[in-house]
A and B are shown apart, each in its own frame.
Chain A
């Protein structure tokens, strides 16, 4: 158990809909990273937050957004969903200046 929690575990929705994925980092970790994993692309970095502020952006679509709240949990919002958004979404957390990231169990999103 990494100490990172993600909800929900599974999500099935239709094209055009909007969903919110939630992540709680390990106690004491200020950084949260979101990654998307699809079969053909592997693990792709989406966005990073540090202590409530956006720190870095990766391959995140404009239809996707995220935020980190004062209690350090983070939410990833996916809107106008397309079939191609079906993937595993992981969040990871790390300590300040930490090199190792600890991953949550992921949310499996299926867009029908």
Chain B
């Protein structure tokens, strides 16, 4: 069955450092992969999308890589700030217009 795995343990890092979150998947051939941010009690907010034929995508302090051979995506936040503290969800879909399959998320805590 399809599985999407994210680091289950919370990630604690110091302000200014780079946070790296991992998303691994099995039994899946996604057309694209997305990263969402979710704050407690709120809905997920879209951050970045990367397609199966793309290796890397950047947006401001965010960078996503996608390795379809390893079936893995890495999500980096550079120069992290306390305001980046949240849960980050990885989501896959087989194509546009389809429902998203989410990992359980990784909680990030950035301390001053």
Chain A residues within 8 Å of B, Cβ to Cβ: 2, 4, 31, 33, 35, 41-45, 48, 50, 55-56, 58, 88, 90, 92, 94, 96-106, 108
A27, B87: Cα distance in complex, Å? 28
A45 lies within 8 A of B101 (CB): yes
Total of A-B residue pairs, C-beta within 8 Å: 59
Q: Contacts of B104 on A, CB cut-off 8 Å?
A: 41-42
Q: Contacts of A92 on B, CB cut-off 8 Å?
A: 43
Q: In this assembly, does B97 line the interface, its C-beta being within 8 Å of a C-beta of chain A?
A: yes
Chain B residues within 8 Å of A, Cβ to Cβ: 32, 34, 36, 41-46, 49, 89, 93, 96-105
Whose C-beta in chain A lies nearest to the C-beta of B44? A103
A100 lies within 8 A of B98 (CB): no
A105, B97: Cα distance in complex, Å? 21
**16 pairs, A vs B, C-beta closer than 8 Å:** A33-B99, A33-B100, A41-B104, A42-B89, A42-B103, A42-B104, A42-B105, A45-B100, A56-B98, A56-B99, A96-B97, A98-B97, A99-B32, A99-B34, A99-B49, A100-B46
